[in-house]
Every structure is written in C-alpha cells, then in structure tokens.
C-alpha cells in the first residue's frame, strides 16, 4: 500500500503536468485564431489562381507552349522515372494523432511505390526524422525545412517552390506528390494526398469546372504571362498547404492538451480520494492501538 508521502508526491507531479498542458492549450488557443484567419484569407487567392492558370491553359494551344520552360511543368512524363514526395508534418509532438496519421499516409504511399526510386522533400522535424529512420527503400532526402511552425510565411513557400521546380527540371522526376493535413474545423483535420506536378491533369480538372467562355487580351503575350504566373501559382498552392498544416496542428494540439488537462484533473481527484482514505485508515488504526493499549493498562 502506498504511503501518504508517495501519494502526495504523485499528486504534486500530476499538478505540475496539468499546469504545463493547460499552458500549452492556452498558447495554442491564442495562436489558432491568427492561423485560422490566415488560412481563410489564403484559400480564395489559391483557388482563384488555380482557375486563372486553368483558363489561361485552355486559351493556349500546344503550339503556344512549345519551346517554353512552362511546357515541361504541364507535360506527363514517361512512367518509370523517379518519384518525388513532399511530406508536411509538425516540428513538435503533443498534438494528438496529427503526426501519426500523416506518417501512416506517407507509409502507405511508400508501400504503394515500393521498388521505385524516390526523392523526398520534408517539411517539419517529425517527418524528417521518420524518413531518416526508414531502411530498405531506395529513398533520398533531397531537402528539409524544419522549425518554421507556427510562423510559416510566404518566404518558406517560395523556398519550397524553387527546390521542387529545380528537382523536377534537373532530375528525371516523373511526378511530385504532396501529403499534408488540411484544416477542416477546430475538431477535425483531413489528410490530403495530391499530385502537385505535372500540372496538366490538375489544371485540366479545374478547367472543366469553368463552363462559361471568357475572352482574354494578353499583354505582353501568352507565353510570357504563363511563364510569369506559374511560379506564383505553385508558390500560392504551397503557401496554402503550409497554412493549412499550421492551423490543423494548432487545433490538434489545443484539443490534445485540453483532453490531457481534463485527464489530469480526474487523476488528481482520484489520488486525493485515495490519500484521504489512506489517512483515515491510519487514524483509525492509531485510535484502535491507543484504545487497546489503554484497556490493557486498565486491565
């Protein structure tokens, strides 16, 4: 049976943990409002940029794209080349199943493409460490970006864009796949596995959604406009991805810390009850000993 001192130490340690989890919950709650506002502001721009590229691509013909640097970002490449995975995770833990679900999705994708040569761009310390521990795969970590959350900015998206485009153009990369957590609400996140490059199928889908015709006047020209917009388009999509992941992580951490604080309170109540029962039993035992000793003296 645990002594009163042991129970008191246990209660004190749980109270300390509760203070930490409660503080982390409050910090996440303070940051989530700004992160939510940022993602709500970035989503419309990314969606409209997607539609603009789709409309422009529809206006262009194959002859307009020929001989341009933009063409290779649209063209489907022959199967059998290197695959590129962009994995966006958190830098820290204590956020529930946020990282676990992402790593499970990445593992499923890697198993699906087992036997292929894979290069990886890792955003977030958790994903980078996970990929470094993998054995038995033809996998190379090409670029890592850690320590950016919860202050991810457009400059980080631009770094990712430059890295991914350079990889896609310099190496025989067949396609680029993006895995990240999308912010749905304060209580829910959704794993997204999307193909970032090549753009043809992605843009073609967006183009079909626009049924109304649009007349364009191009200045200085179609090729120049497309070449200028494509890097901005990729940057906007990756910036949205970082903001989605950032908001989803903060929401997951807030919920996890709230649950941990609640569990700590329940544990403290149980330990306090146990301590009171133990103290009452000790007092009763001492009283019985005093009464027994008194009767023995009187007898």
Query: Is 95 among the catalytic positions?
Result: yes
The label of the residue with tokens 């199943």 reads 97
Max intra-chain CA distance, the chain: 117
Cβ-contact 131, 183 below 8 angstroms: no
At which residue do the structure tokens 């340690």 appear?
A: 13
Which two three-digit tokens encode residue 264?
């700590």
Residues 6 or more apart in contact with residue 193 via CB below 8 angstroms: 105, 109, 177, 178, 179
Contact between 195 and 201 under an 8 Å Cβ cutoff? The reply is: yes
Q: What is the dihedral of CA 235, 240, 245, 250, to 10 degrees?
A: 130
CA distance 19 to 281: 31
Phi, psi dihedral angles at 265 (to 5 degrees): -60, -45
**CA atoms of 265 and 267, how far apart (whole Å):** 5
Choice among 84, 95, 114, 119 that is catalytic: 95
Which residues are the active-site residues?
95
């Amino acid at each position: 049976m645990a002594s009163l001192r042991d129970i008191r130490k246990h209660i004190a340690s749980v109270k300390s943990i509760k203070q930490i989890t409660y503080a982390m919950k409050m910090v996440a709650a303070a940051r989530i409002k700004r992160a939510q506002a940022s993602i709500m502001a970035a989503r419309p721009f990314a969606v409209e940029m997607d539609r603009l590229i789709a409309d422009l691509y529809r206006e262009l013909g194959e002859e307009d794209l020929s001989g341009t640097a933009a063409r290779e970002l649209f063209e489907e490449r022959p199967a059998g080349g290197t695959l590129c995975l962009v994995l966006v995770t958190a830098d820290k833990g204590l956020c529930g199943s946020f990282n676990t679900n992402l790593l499970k999705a990445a593992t499923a994708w890697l198993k699906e493409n087992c036997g292929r040569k894979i290069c990886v761009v890792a955003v977030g310390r958790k994903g980078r460490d996970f990929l470094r521990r993998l054995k038995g795969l033809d996998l190379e970590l090409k670029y890592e970006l850690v320590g950016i959350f919860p202050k991810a900015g457009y400059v980080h998206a631009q770094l990712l864009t430059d890295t991914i485009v350079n990889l896609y153009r310099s190496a025989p990369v067949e396609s680029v796949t993006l895995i990240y957590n999308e912010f749905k609400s304060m209580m829910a996140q959704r794993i997204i596995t999307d193909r970032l490059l090549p753009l043809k199928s992605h843009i073609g889908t967006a183009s079909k959604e626009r049924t109304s015709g649009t007349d364009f006047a191009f200045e200085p020209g179609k090729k120049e406009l497309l070449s200028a917009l494509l890097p901005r388009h990729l940057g906007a999509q990756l910036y949205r991805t970082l903001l989605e992941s950032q908001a989803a992580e903060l929401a997951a951490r807030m919920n996890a810390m709230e649950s941990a604080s609640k569990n700590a309170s329940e544990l403290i109540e149980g330990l306090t009850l146990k301590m009171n029962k133990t103290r009452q039993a000790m007092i009763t035992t001492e009283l019985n000993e005093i009464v027994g000793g008194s009767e023995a003296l009187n007898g």
